[in-house]
Amino acid sequence: MRRIIRLLAITTAVASAVWIRDARRRARERAESIGRVMLCDIRGFVTHRLDPLVMRLGFAGGERSVLGVVEHVGRATGTVHHTPVLPLVADDHAYIPLPYGSEVDWSRNVRTAGHCRLQVHDTIFELDEPAIVDVGQNELLPQALRGPLQRVGSQYLRLHILDRAPGTFAHAPARGANTTVASPEIHLEMAGQQAGGAPAGIAG
């Protein structure tokens, strides 16, 4: 067992060193910061590898899962996508963290359309009025967490809850959809969001 753990550690260290060296090279070529290049790499991995796996295994939107699922329509294709997210929902608003910035595809799709649907556990929310807000405007976060999260530039997509009804996307097909696909990005906020009594999933 120790041998396997040691082998995994060495493999991880080597892969990380190769990745960092390659990221530095690409950062020089693009005249960008290495942090930006590595963030793009991580986002690509999450989008094309981790998210589809999360959706395929049913880890998002389930009865006990903290992950919800946003249903949004592609701006150019009209194709319906389902993206796992970590929403905070209470009263008449939902807040979805944007750790990779506001220009990720699912966020742009929602803002272009002006509406989307969100499944949390066995409830489907009809959402509209999308707006990018900073931590200070997220009323569902404890005050103690707002300062640290604001310092790292955390943003949220705030949406107004137009309606809510029992159901899941599996039993409530998208309206006017071309094709339903399991896709995009999982947006997990910093671990601190779960601490200090911060709401997870449906709050209130």
In tens, the pLDDT along 176-204 reads: 444 444 443 433 333 333 334 444 454 44
Does residue 63 fall inside a structural domain? no
Predicted pLDDT at 197: 40
Are residue 97 and residue 194 in the same domain, yes or no?
Answer: yes
Does residue 61 fall inside a structural domain? no
- CA 105, CA 34: separation in Å to the nearest integer? 22
Mean pLDDT of 118-140: 87
Beta strand pairing status for 201-202 and 93-97? unpaired
Domain final residue, candidates 18, 33, 56: 56
Predicted pLDDT at 41: 65
- Residue 43, pLDDT above cutoff 70: no
- Name the percent of the chain lying above pLDDT 70: 65
Tens-digit pLDDT profile for residues 70-83:
999 999 889 999 99
Domain range for 38 is: 2-56
- Pair of tokens at residue 102: 């506001």
pTM above threshold 0.75: no
- CA 123, CA 180: separation in Å to the nearest integer? 19
Q: Could you tell me where the DSSP H helices lie in 91-140?
A: 105-113
Are residue 74 and residue 172 in the same domain, yes or no?
Answer: yes
Are residue 45 and residue 80 in the same domain, yes or no?
Answer: no
Are residue 93 and residue 188 in the same domain, yes or no?
Answer: yes
Lowest mean pLDDT among 43-52, 91-100, 190-199: 190-199
Q: How many domains does the chain have?
A: 2
Residues 158 and 131: beta-carbon distance below 8 Å: yes
Does residue 62 fall inside a structural domain? no
Are residue 112 and residue 30 in the same domain, yes or no?
Answer: no
Are residue 72 and residue 46 in the same domain, yes or no?
Answer: no
Q: 46: pLDDT confidence band, cut at 50, 70 and 90?
A: low
Are residue 36 and residue 87 in the same domain, yes or no?
Answer: no
Residues 92 and 161: beta-carbon distance below 8 Å: yes
- Cα 104-107-111 angle, rounded to 5 deg: 135
Most confident range, picked from 90-104, 111-125, 141-155, 179-193: 111-125
CA distances from 78 to 39, 48, 75, 81, 175 (A): 28, 19, 6, 9, 11
Are residue 98 and residue 196 in the same domain, yes or no?
Answer: yes
Q: What is the CATH number of the domain that holds 114?
A: 2.30.110.10
Are residue 104 and residue 41 in the same domain, yes or no?
Answer: no
Provide the 10 A C-beta neighbour count for residue 172.
14
- What radius of gyration do the chain's Cα atoms show? 18
Are residue 135 and residue 36 in the same domain, yes or no?
Answer: no
Are residue 83 and residue 176 in the same domain, yes or no?
Answer: yes
